[in-house]
Amino acid sequence: MGRRYLSLLVTALVTAVIAFMAHTAGAQSDNDPETDDSQTDIASDARMSPADRLLRTREFLVERAQTRPRLQPPPIGRPPLRNDRAMVDWDDVSATMAETRRRDAAGANAASAASVPRLEGLRALAPTQLQRVRPSEVDAVQMPVLVPGSDEILASVQVFGQADAYSAIADAGNNLAFRISGARKRLVLEDPPAPRVAMERMRSARPPLPGLGARYVITRSDSSTDLSFSRFGCGYVLSLMCDDPDGDARCAEDDFIVSLASSMVLLNENAGSGQ
């Protein structure tokens, strides 16, 4: 009988120890930041009292907070290696426009309705042909000033030019604000952070823009849907601002912004002639 009690006691203790270890391991995995944002955590959090949640948040803030010393402060973060001014490949600009002209001509000569000229590509347009564009704004820019060739955008577009950068804003249709920006200078990052490297991979994985041949990425946030691409040595970003970014297909899906980026007009065709 005594031996039996002893074995029972040992079994009970071993069970309790195993249960405790399992519980502790579970608590540790709850604290793992990798799993912080999972739906599972939200579900398990539903059982926590508001006071416990607040306590968890407070502890998180206290544990992670850091301060800056008043004397001899260490550097903050990492600056870029340098800021380069790119060489603009104006020959490529000319070649791309020539290719679009060739395709337009082929389309115009085709008898079949199925072969109407494609809209994709790059065509020149003088700023004087645009009602709200001041030619001096375009003349100031020493990089290709690209604007989507959509009729709605061209009807309302305004350009703000600087030597190595420009932006253009317009209405792109019903309840839709549009902006395109370009930059000739680029920051060279030292060991770019992993998400930036991942973006580079995303860009490589997509097929190029029809007509322009540029690889691109699309990102979406509260404030805009953005399409970023580079061409002729410069960086460009198109932004669409919808009232309902999740419900309006022009912002929520890729097709519309890709179609805008695939059909561009060049407002400063002669900017490269002196360079």
Partner 1 sequence: MRAGSETQKGNTTVNLLIGLAIVSLCFLAVWWYEKQAVESVPPQFADELEDEGSAIEEPDAPSGAIPEDPPDTLPGDEDEDIPPTDTPLTDAQGDVFAYLPVGDLLPLSGPGFVDDTVYRPDIVFPTEDRVFLNSQVYRYGGYQGSLNGMEGGQCEIANYDYPWQDTFCEKRSRNQDLCPGGGHEGLDIRPASCTKNVHWAVAVEDARVIDVRRHWVTLQTADGTIYNYLHLNMGALEVALGDDVAQGQRIGVISNDFYNSDGSSVATTIHLHFEMYENYVASDGADPLFTKVNPYMTLVSAYDAKLRE
Query: Position 67: which residue type?
Result: T
Q: Do 180 and 238 contact (CB within 8 A), yes or no?
A: yes
Element (H, E) at 210: none
CA distance 190 to 80: 6
**210, two tokens:** 């029809």
- Residue 7's contacts (CB-CB under 8 Å, 6 or more residues apart) are none
Pairing of strands 121-124, 263-266: parallel
Instruction: Tell me whether residue 81 or residue 105 sits nearer to partner 1 (CB atom).
Output: 81
Ramachandran area for residue 34 (φ above 0: left; ψ -120 to 50: alpha; else beta): alpha
CA distance 237 to 254: 14
The least CB distance from residue 114 to partner 1, in Å, is 34
